[in-house]
Amino acid sequence: MLIYSPRIHEFLFKRIREFVAKKKLCDLAPSWQKNMENENNNAQHFLDLIQKSRKGKFKIYIGMSAGVGKTFRMLQEAHSLLKNGIDVKIGYIETHMRKETHELLAGLPIIPRRTIFYKGKELEELDVQAIINLRPEVVIVDELAHTNVEGSKNEKRWQDVLEILEAGINVISAVNIQHIESLNSAVKRITNIDVQERIPDNVLRLADEVVNIDLTSEDLIARLKEGKIYTPDKIQTALTNFFKSEQILQLRELALKEVASQVVRKVENEVPNLHALRHEKLLACISSNDKTAKIVIRKAARLASYYNGSWYVLYVETPQESSTKIALDKQRHLINNFKLAVQLGGEVVKLENKNIADAILATVEEKQITTVCIGKPHLNLFKVILSTTIFRRLLNKLSLSNVDLVILS
């Protein structure tokens, strides 16, 4: 990843001139109008506080893989809450028949699961409506990344959890690091497995508390060999495929980094003294190249998460890529990438312009972007820019605006 980050004094003078101009315009507005705007802002802020207070609190246990003890820890916490007089119930728990974990279910009130018949089989799912009707203070919901049976109200369990939180019920849940959407490429590179069940990053950001259940690779492999994770017939396959020491170490690093970024985000949001720091706004520029667009989107999402900033995805439709000229499969890939960006917490900006650099610079100014992210040279976007003198002009303009340029590989 290459970073071009000049800091030019002229930028300061430019911003000061803009500020003065805006200030003069604001002063021309009638006082009653400004008072009305302030009242509306205050009312909206108070409404946001009320709505936030009505929502349930959300706690997530996160781990580097199966078998680290997330479900075990949730059940331990449930017993502790119950002893302290808290109305806690089990909404959905998957013990995988692990002896130590299964034994902890004893004495805990369990909400019956919803039964669904699908393709001749009787399947069980989380009963969201039963939980909302019973209104426990806390509900335990395992397997946050689970995909619900076809015909369920919500496609994903994390959507069920959000519905429960909206009803004012506190939720404790769990997920493995490989199910985080923006980490999909990194996990695939480490494990050679394309994880299909994933949760959007913004679901993790909604959590009031994220707890990492950490084990060394040696301890985790020892648990596996002792039969505490899988049945004996699956142990050797697990050791050969997923549970390799080098893979576990890399997944452990991802989990630790994720929780660390959550802590940083919490501090920045709750400590007033830090509000004066520069708020990062990232712009991920993509083309119709599906593969590299996904990489740029996911990596930009990770950067935005790390810096606790907001981010946008920009697609510039040139005359060569108008809806009448671009292939249908590319149109479909673009739509899917827009959806991916939204799932990861980004905002999509689509512009029609024959000049890509002009469109980027206009968006940078309008959205007050601090960092522009583009793909490495094999991107169509990059080729278009490099084929002219536009790239040099883009660099010059960004430098004068105090904007960083990140080339993602």
The pLDDT of residue 5 is 46
Nearest to 357 by CA among 312, 405, 299, 295: 405
Nearest to 283 by CA among 307, 314, 259: 314
Tokens 């960092």 correspond to what residue? 371
Query: Is residue 394 exposed (0-12), middle (13-18) or buried (19+ Cβ within 10 Å)?
Result: buried
Number of other residues whose CB lies within 10 A of the CB of residue 243: 22
The pLDDT of residue 259 is 86
Number of other residues whose CB lies within 10 A of the CB of residue 34: 12
Type and span of the H or E element at 328: helix 328-343
Structure tokens at 343: 């799932």
Distance of CA 29 to the CA centre of its chain: 40
The pLDDT of residue 325 is 81
Nearest to 397 by CA among 6, 2, 1, 20: 6
Task: Give the residues of the chain that fall short of pLDDT 70.
Answer: 1-53, 267-278, 377-392
Helix 245-270 / helix 290-306 crossing angle, nearest 10 deg: 50
Q: Check if the beta carbon of residue 182 is closer than 8 Å to that of residue 260.
A: no
Nearest to 204 by CA among 260, 253, 252: 260
Structure tokens at 221: 């492999």
Strand order in the sheet with 209-213: 88-92, 138-141, 170-176, 58-63, 209-213
Q: How far apart are CA 55 and CA 73, in angstroms?
A: 24
Q: Check if the beta carbon of residue 8 is closer than 8 Å to that of residue 396.
A: no
Type and span of the H or E element at 286: strand 281-286
- Report how far apart, in Å, the C-alpha atoms of 285 and of each of 71, 115, 276, 314, 363 are: 40, 45, 28, 5, 10
Tokens 């940078």 correspond to what residue? 364
Q: How far apart are CA 319 and CA 317, in angstroms?
A: 7
pLDDT digits (tens, 9 = 90+) for 273-326: 544 456 789 999 998 888 889 999 999 998 888 787 889 999 999 888 887 888
- Report how far apart, in Å, the C-alpha atoms of 56 and of each of 169, 172, 206 are: 4, 10, 11
pLDDT digits (tens, 9 = 90+) for 5-55: 444 344 434 443 454 444 444 444 455 454 555 555 556 655 565 566 678
